[in-house]
């Protein structure tokens, strides 16, 4: 009798939640997201891309005047909202924030059409799917919110759902061509952001081909659309941004792309393994679901892509985490359906176990959200106040290999970024490779040349422009298990402080503020 009562209580609670309209549940998540302690403008990468967009709109040329480490689409993704902000008289950060929510609603609308037309989750009930997706896309990102990977993953989710429709053998429910084209256009954004994320699409489609015993299963309308869009993008880059594909790309490959933070793998790999084990455990007593397997295949593909990048930053982990957690939730929902259908002595304990694992899955979402938020440390208010007390619109130069030293601090102080680079990655990574003995022979000669050239560039930037503010790493900055710069002392600062020309130039500056990891220097009033 106790077992029946427990099952009735559990199913009653689920029914009460399920009776709520998915629209209201999603709306509640959206409203809740407004109170989260992060915005798109707070993100280091997004803030820097806003700076680039402002420069491009002012007439500067990408990969000539601005040497951005990412392909052109990263800038194209945000330049529309930044341009619109000028027309509407609002901040670029507010426009980008609205844009991110617009992308979210497009993702949810496409996802809803796929789910409702396909009935792929008819046995699991769909009410919980929509708020779960909303949480994964709005709450779990933390300060990854607004990043290119966040935007791309949101627009990829309808495609993952469409794969789940494709794998079902239902000739009575063909995929509408228009819907497939729309989903393909949305899914292509993730590849335009970074082409290597294609692995997260290729692996699940190969799984579909294996299940259907035909590689022709991969030849779908959405894949044709993605291939066409990506091919057109490559042609446009070749025609409009030849400087990116020339010597600059070689510089990127030599220093930026080749730099790896393998120590971060110690956290990323065990996390992925735990997620996989959790999902397999949920499915141990039932027939494996194709939708769960597809989501896991996609997560594995994204994880492999992340391994190739070798940085393991939160924004690089977000695509695999989102698809993997979605697989976990589907597995728990499937197990719940089986448990509530039991009518024996095992029923009560199985329902209790499912509840526990459902709570664990939600705890994972909360933990990832907190982790993503904690990774990005906003500059202290004291730094902002110190700069604003001296200048209304200061010119700023950064001496650091850490992008977060100057961004979003530059935008927070209405500053003007002088350097063509986001940070001192050329000099720092050349120096780091020379210190480690990475380069030999001709490669060593090139690295020493690049190091000397960049050192002279930075000194001339300060000498010729006389910036109001210079931002630098603290020598005793707090180390972080997730940060490349936390794995070793700020070697670039050590190198520059030992440079005679730099020492002379810094004689015109005085320290006015210091935070956990940033030192702020202002030009002396009597400097000449």
User: How many CB atoms neighbour CB 109 within 10 A?
Assistant: 12
Give the Cα separation of 469 and 490 in Å (integer).
19
Looking at residue 345, its pLDDT comes to 64
Looking at residue 16, its pLDDT comes to 46
Phi first, then psi: give them for residue 305, nearest 5 degrees: -60, -40
Count of domains for the chain: 2
Would 306 be classed as within a structural domain? yes
**Which among 346, 375, 404 is the end of a domain?**
375
Query: Has residue 485 got a pLDDT over 70?
Result: no
Query: Has residue 461 got a pLDDT over 90?
Result: yes
Give the Cα separation of 496 and 332 in Å (integer).
54
Looking at residue 359, its pLDDT comes to 83
What whole-number percentage of the chain has pLDDT above 70? 90
Query: Has residue 483 got a pLDDT over 50?
Result: no
pLDDT band at 373 (very low <50, low <70, confident <90, very high): low
Phi first, then psi: give them for residue 311, nearest 5 degrees: -100, -40
Q: Contact 199/301 with Cβ under 8 angstroms?
A: yes
Query: Has residue 5 got a pLDDT over 80?
Result: no
For residue 109, say if its preceding peptide bond is cis, omega within 30 degrees of 0: no
Same domain (yes/no): 342, 389:
no
Same domain (yes/no): 390, 341:
no
Condensed to tens digits (0 to 9), the pLDDT of residues 421-460 reads: 999 999 999 999 999 888 999 999 999 999 999 999 999 9
Q: Contact 301/200 with Cβ under 8 angstroms?
A: yes
pLDDT band at 262 (very low <50, low <70, confident <90, very high): low
Query: Has residue 321 got a pLDDT over 80?
Result: yes
- Please name the residue that has the structure tokens 């799917």: 129
Average pLDDT over residues 186-204: 96
pLDDT band at 173 (very low <50, low <70, confident <90, very high): confident
Q: Which residue has the higher pLDDT, 308 or 458?
A: 458
Q: Which helix (H) or strand (E) holds 440?
A: none
Would 25 be classed as within a structural domain? no
Looking at residue 298, its pLDDT comes to 97
Give the Cα separation of 292 and 323 in Å (integer).
10
Would 157 be classed as within a structural domain? yes
Question: Is residue 120 classed as helix, strand or coil in its secondary structure?
Answer: coil
Give the Cα separation of 329 and 362 in Å (integer).
9
Same domain (yes/no): 286, 426:
no
Query: Has residue 13 got a pLDDT over 90?
Result: no
Same domain (yes/no): 339, 436:
no
Give me the domain span that covers residue 214.
Answer: 40-375
Same domain (yes/no): 269, 329:
yes
Looking at residue 9, its pLDDT comes to 45
Question: Is residue 471 classed as helix, strand or coil in its secondary structure?
Answer: strand
Looking at residue 311, its pLDDT comes to 80
Cα distances (angstroms) measured from residue 489 to each of 9, 211, 236, 459: 57, 51, 41, 21
- Return the closest-CA partner of residue 387 out of 519, 476, 516: 519
Same domain (yes/no): 497, 461:
yes
What whole-number percentage of the chain has pLDDT above 90? 64
Looking at residue 36, its pLDDT comes to 86
Would 76 be classed as within a structural domain? yes
**Which among 340, 375, 410 is the end of a domain?**
375
**Which among 375, 399, 419 is the end of a domain?**
375
Same domain (yes/no): 424, 312:
no
Would 26 be classed as within a structural domain? no
Condensed to tens digits (0 to 9), the pLDDT of residues 51-81 reads: 999 999 999 999 999 999 999 999 999 999 9
pLDDT band at 20 (very low <50, low <70, confident <90, very high): low
- Which of 35-49, 113-127, 294-308, 355-369: highest mean pLDDT? 294-308
pLDDT band at 371 (very low <50, low <70, confident <90, very high): confident
Output the CA torsion sign for 51, 57, 62, 64: negative
Same domain (yes/no): 393, 361:
no
Looking at residue 355, its pLDDT comes to 79
Same domain (yes/no): 125, 77:
yes
Same domain (yes/no): 406, 283:
no
Would 327 be classed as within a structural domain? yes
Same domain (yes/no): 74, 46:
yes
- Which of 184-193, 276-285, 345-354, 433-442: highest mean pLDDT? 184-193
Looking at residue 343, its pLDDT comes to 63
Residue 98 structure tokens: 């609205």
pLDDT band at 487 (very low <50, low <70, confident <90, very high): very low
Q: Which residue has the higher pLDDT, 339 or 436?
A: 436
Looking at residue 478, its pLDDT comes to 60
Would 5 be classed as within a structural domain? no
Would 33 be classed as within a structural domain? no
Average pLDDT over residues 123-134: 87
Same domain (yes/no): 318, 271:
yes
Question: Is residue 248 classed as helix, strand or coil in its secondary structure?
Answer: helix
The mean pLDDT of the chain is 88
């Amino acid at each position: 009798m106790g077992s029946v009562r427990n099952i009735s209580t559990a199913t009653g609670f689920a029914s009460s939640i399920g009776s709520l309209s998915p629209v209201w549940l999603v709306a509640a998540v959206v409203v809740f997201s407004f109170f989260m302690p992060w915005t798109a403008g707070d993100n280091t990468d997004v803030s820097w891309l806003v700076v680039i967009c402002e420069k491009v709109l002012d007439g500067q040329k990408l990969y000539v005047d601005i040497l951005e480490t990412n392909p052109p689409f990263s800038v194209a993704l945000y330049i529309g909202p930044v341009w619109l902000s000028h027309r509407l008289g609002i901040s670029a950060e507010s426009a980008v924030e609205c844009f991110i929510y617009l992308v979210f609603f497009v993702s949810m609308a496409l996802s809803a059409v796929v789910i409702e037309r396909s009935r792929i989750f008819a046995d699991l009930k769909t009410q919980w799917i929509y708020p779960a997706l909303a949480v994964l896309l709005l709450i779990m990102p933390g300060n990854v919110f607004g990043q290119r990977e966040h935007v791309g993953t949101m627009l990829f989710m309808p495609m993952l759902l469409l794969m789940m429709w494709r794998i079902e053998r239902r000739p009575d429910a063909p995929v509408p061509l228009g819907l497939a084209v729309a989903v393909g256009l949305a899914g292509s954004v993730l590849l335009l952001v970074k082409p290597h994320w294609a692995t997260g699409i290729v692996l699940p489609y190969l799984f579909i081909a294996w299940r259907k015993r035909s590689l022709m299963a991969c030849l779908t309308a959405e894949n044709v659309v993605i291939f066409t869009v990506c091919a057109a993008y490559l042609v446009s880059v070749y025609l409009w941004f030849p400087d990116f594909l020339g010597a600059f790309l070689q510089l990127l490959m030599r220093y930026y792309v080749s730099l790896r933070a393998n120590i971060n793998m110690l956290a990323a790999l065990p996390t992925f393994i735990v997620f996989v084990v959790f999902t397999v455990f949920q499915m141990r007593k039932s027939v494996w679901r194709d939708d769960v397997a597809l989501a896991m295949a996609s997560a594995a593909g994204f994880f492999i892509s992340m391994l190739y990048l070798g940085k393991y930053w939160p924004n690089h982990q977000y695509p695999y985490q989102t698809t993997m957690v979605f697989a976990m939730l589907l597995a728990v929902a499937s197990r719940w359906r089986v448990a509530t259908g039991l009518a024996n002595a095992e029923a009560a304990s199985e329902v209790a176990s499912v509840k526990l694992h459902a709570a664990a899955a939600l705890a994972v979402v909360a933990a990832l959200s907190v982790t993503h938020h904690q990774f990005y440390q906003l500059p202290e208010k004291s730094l902002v106040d110190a700069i604003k007390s001296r200048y209304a619109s200061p010119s700023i130069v950064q001496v650091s290999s850490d992008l977060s030293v100057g961004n979003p601090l530059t935008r927070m102080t209405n500053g003007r970024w002088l350097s063509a680079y986001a940070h001192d990655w050329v000099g720092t990574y050349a120096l780091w490779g020379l210190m480690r003995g990475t380069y030999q022979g001709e490669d060593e000669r090139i690295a020493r040349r690049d190091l000397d050239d960049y050192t002279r560039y930075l000194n001339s930037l300060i000498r010729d422009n006389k910036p109001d503010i210079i931002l630098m790493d603290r020598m005793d900055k707090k180390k972080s298990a997730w940060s490349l710069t936390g794995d070793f002392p700020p070697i670039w600062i050590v190198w520059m402080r030992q440079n005679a020309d730099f020492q002379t130039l810094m004689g015109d500056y005085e320290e006015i503020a210091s935070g956990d990891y940033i030192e702020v220097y202002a030009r002396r009033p009597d400097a000449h």
